[in-house]
Amino acid sequence: MVESIKLPAKIEHVESFMHFVRDYARDEGFSSQRIDKIELAIEEALVNICRYAYSEVKGDMEMICRTDTDKRLIIDIVDAGEPFNVLMVSEPDLAADIEDREIGGLGVLFIRKMVDDIQYRRRNNKNILTLILRHR
């Protein structure tokens, strides 16, 4: 079954999306360990949209959840903000000490590490980030 949620891209709405994806993944039989990973990836992706894609103009963010024939969870996250490809963001320097450690960059690292596959495309002036998770 395909389920979706769409709300204005504001930090205060991020938790609604997390509840939504948690319920969806639970209904599809994903383990709580897998759901932890999904939630983290979703929070990081949505916060990036609120902060960067819509830094100038305001708009909506939408999440569409479905499963494919291999029972993988496919999550499309769509926004109409500035082009923002998380796959192009360079990894933070993980070897730096407290003084030199950058505050940013970790969110994208978590998105990449939490999911099995990640795809980005820009279509009709929209960013579409697809996160794919197996049951494991």
15 binds another protein, rule: CB under 8 A: yes
Residue at token pair 């998105």: 111
Told to check if 11 binds another protein by CB under 8 A, we report yes
- Does 1 engage in binding with another protein (CB under 8 A)? no
- Of the candidates 28, 39, 62, 79, which one interacts with another protein according to CB under 8 A? 39
**Displacement of CA 121 from its chain's centroid (Å):** 14
* Phi, psi for residue 83 in degrees, rounded to 5: -55, 130
Q: Find, among 34, 75, 61, 71, the residue nearest to 126 by Cα.
A: 61
Q: Per-residue x/- marks for another protein, 43-82, CB under 8 A?
A: xx--x-----------------------------------
* Residues comprising the chain, all counted: 136
Cβ at position 105, least distance to another protein in Å: 8
**CB nearer to another protein: pick between 51 and 66:** 51
> Quick one: angle between helices 32-48 and 14-27, nearest 10?
150
Is 98 a binder of another protein (CB under 8 A)? Answer: yes
Task: Give the integer Cα–Cα distance in Å for 59 and 79.
Answer: 8
Nearest-angstrom CA–CA distance, 4 and 86? 22
Q: Which residues bind another protein (CB under 8 A)?
A: 11-12, 14-15, 18, 33, 36-37, 39-40, 43-44, 47, 94-99, 101, 103-104, 106-107, 109-110, 113
